[in-house]
A and B are shown apart, each in its own frame.
Chain A
Amino acid sequence: MKTHFISVIAVAIGGALGAVLRFSVDLPLYDTYFPINTIIVNLIGSLILGVLTAVYVIKNTREWIKAGLGVGFCGGFTTMSALANDAVVLITNGDVLLFSLYLIISVIGGIGLAVLGYVSIMKWKAGDSS
């Protein structure tokens, strides 16, 4: 297990920024009926990490930059624990429909947007170099 101090610092700074940005989405959009705030951060974060994953394939990126942007920022911006919390609140409210909708939008949307981000950059790169 090899860790570089600079990567840990990058993760800390990225994580702090990501969490603060997520909080600034939570503040105006916090809604006990349907947690749209968590959906928004998770979908946008998945799109950004999909883009970054393609960028790393194309361009040799330093480890601490990858750690700061991907692990720190995107990881700190998005959250699975709030998703679990939201889902349990929806199901204990008896909203089976909203519960299902919430999970379907989050999971299919998140994976779909990661693919979209990744494929878009790879296609753009392929078109660029030909």
Chain B
Amino acid sequence: MSITLVAIGGAIGAVLRYLLGLFIMSKRHKEGLPIAMLIVNILGAFGLGIFIGIYNPGPEPLQNSLYVLFSIGVFGAFTTFSTFSVEAMQLIQRRQFKFFWTYVLVSVLGSIILFGLSFAVTVQLL
């Protein structure tokens, strides 16, 4: 059962990332900061913070259907780390070091801060 939920959530998350990524890239042609996955990752971390704030999965989250569907499936697959690593690598290859540091710091710290913020605010509001 859990496997099916993760598969469904994973498919939805990945397709949403793909479509949003294409949409953002269609608006920006400039070569430079790879903003599409930056936005996707921060947005996904923000969304997961709200979800975890609303829904406490308990001490064994991996046994929890809703947690598995949304946290592991949808948000897990919507965000990505492999593309982050490869895009960071490509910025080094192009010797765009300023973009490299901006991309790495904003992606990682931005995701962490927005997750923490959305989680804390959601818990406060409920």
Contacts and interface: CB of A to CB of B under 8 A. Distances in A.
A114 B10 contact: no
Contacts of B107: 80
Contacts of A17: 7, 10
Contact of A114 (B62, B82, B108, B115): B82
B126 interface: no
B89 interface: yes
Contacts of A20: 3, 6-7, 10
Main secondary structure of the interface of B (DSSP, over half): helix
Interface residues of A, number: 55
Given A81-B45, A84-B48, A14 B14 contact: yes
A129 interface: no
Interface in A40-78: 41-42, 45-46, 48-50, 53, 67, 70-72, 74-78
Interface string A99-123: 0000100110011011100100000
Given A81-B111, A84-B111, A13 B41 contact: no
B80 A75 contact: yes
Given A16-B7, A85-B52, 4 more contacts: A17-B10, A18-B77, A75-B77, A81-B48
Interface of A: 1-3, 7-8, 11-20, 22-23, 26-27, 30, 41-42, 45-46, 48-50, 53, 67, 70-72, 74-85, 87-88, 103, 106-107, 110-111, 113-115, 118
Closest 9 CB pairs of A and B: A15-B14, A19-B10, A46-B85, A78-B81, A84-B115, A80-B79, A49-B82, A84-B45, A76-B77
